[in-house]
Amino acid sequence: MSIVVTGATGHLGRLVVESLLERGAEGIVATGRGVDRLQDLADRGVRVERLDYDDVPESVDWLGAGDVLLLVSGSEVGRRVPQHRAIVDLAVRSGVGRIAYTSAPAADDTALTVAPEHAATEALIRASGLPFTFLRNGWYTENYRPTFEQARESGLVLGSAGEGRVASAPRSDFAEAAAVVLTTDGHEGAVYELFGDAAWTYGELAAAFADVLGREVTYRSLTPEEHREALLSAGLDQGTAGFVVALDQDIAAGLLGLTTGHLAGLLGRPTVPLAETVRTWA
């Protein structure tokens, strides 16, 4: 049996492969659009294969009956459903034993801005008849690395999330949880809502930045309109600025502040706290 990871050239997929290696997993196949970026994994005994989400072949010799497949969601918003459909269809034709998918929180029952494509993909997987596991990943702490750099320069954290909370964890925690699901039994049909153990506000984020930077950092709470104008003034295009503001409104609505305990449960330990991750950015 092989464990096949798609998107292994991306941040999360690469970390999943690293976690599988740490767990002593065998038969790992790492796929990505540019296999040259996976050469170091090949040097460590991982089979590396090309898989372009926009050019999925009818069949491949590295995916077969009984294999476990992790479909790491694509990064191209607006194109993910057809991309994911092509990979799910390949999985069906190959007779895989189980498919795991990195989805979004409460994907099929939420107003979260990023959810619709994930909900559609979950529906495709359910309709495929394949045994599945949904890893509904919450927010990555690393999403705030650019905010940290801005705070380093300006002493400000700008946002329109109000007092909304984010229960984040580092990507490595989500990757380790995926590796657990791929290498252990008992996850068929499971839907995991994965969040960090502690939910923090942007004011607390600013305080964590201040502790690491050794300077005052203040959270400036803006209206959505003020936030959009600030982002446009900083050089973002209309679409990106609107997307960022919409995500802050999701946070204000409490959609990313859940603390379910599912992530820590899979890890068998607490999730890595916000402050610990921020310290690595100094």
Residue-range domains of the chain with CATH: 3-137 (3.40.50.720), 139-169+195-258+272-282 (3.90.25.10)
The pLDDT score that the predictor gives to residue 167 is: 98
Ranges of the chain with pLDDT below 70: none
CA 55 to the chain's CA centroid? 23
Handedness of CA 93, 98, 99, 105 (dihedral sign): positive
The pLDDT score that the predictor gives to residue 21 is: 98
Q: Judge whether 132 and 188 are in contact, CB under 8 Å.
A: yes
The pLDDT score that the predictor gives to residue 75 is: 87
The pLDDT score that the predictor gives to residue 26 is: 95
In 3D space, the residue among 75, 81, 88, 71 whose CA is nearest the CA of residue 116 turns out to be: 81
pTM, two decimals, is: 0.96
The pLDDT score that the predictor gives to residue 78 is: 86
The pLDDT score that the predictor gives to residue 124 is: 98
The pLDDT score that the predictor gives to residue 190 is: 98
Residues 6 or more apart whose Cβ sits within 8 Å of residue 151 = 157, 206, 209, 213, 217
